[in-house]
Amino acid sequence: MSEKKIKNIFVQGPVAPAFIAESIASHKSKTGIGGHSIFLGQIRADKINEQTVHAIEYTAYEEMALERMQEIREEIFSKYTLTCMHVHHSLGKIEAGDICLFVFTSAPHRKAAMEACEEVVERIKAELPIWGKELFGDATHQWKENI
């Protein structure tokens, strides 16, 4: 792994819509960018065994997750022609309807931005030690499976 500073992808609570908008707006001056791809993960109010998910409580093995995310970042940058990549994942209790994952990739051309964004999302779900506990209205819970 390179000597680059490891970026913190974690935020406490939901990813705020204003933060997402500011992130997009801040790229206006980067005129070499021709395409952006954005993924927003939102908490669903799934019905499971007659219960409704009201929130998901996210926890992570943060140090390991950040190291692995840095490796993924480097692999994605070497595979695709990107100008930038931003990843923000919630920790803590996130209510149904709130955003819990924000992945934003930019490139000179749209195809690289879109393919990189999709791969980053899939690899986050498959490779990072992040767990979600689905919380029900009656104070019971179950651990979420990443699918």
Architecture of the 10-143 domain = Alpha-Beta Complex (3.90)
Single pTM value for the model: 0.92
Give 3's pLDDT tier (boundaries 50, 70, 90): low
Residues 2-19 have a mean pLDDT of 88
How do the domains of the chain map onto residue ranges? 10-143
Give 146's pLDDT tier (boundaries 50, 70, 90): low
What percent of the chain is modeled with pLDDT above 70? 96
Residues 93-107 have a mean pLDDT of 97
**Going by C-beta distance under 8 Å and a sequence separation of 6 or more, which residues neighbour residue 48?**
134, 136, 142
Q: What gap in Å lies between CA 21 and CA 23, rounded to an integer?
A: 5
3-state secondary structure of 108: coil
Q: What is the per-residue pLDDT for 6?
A: 86
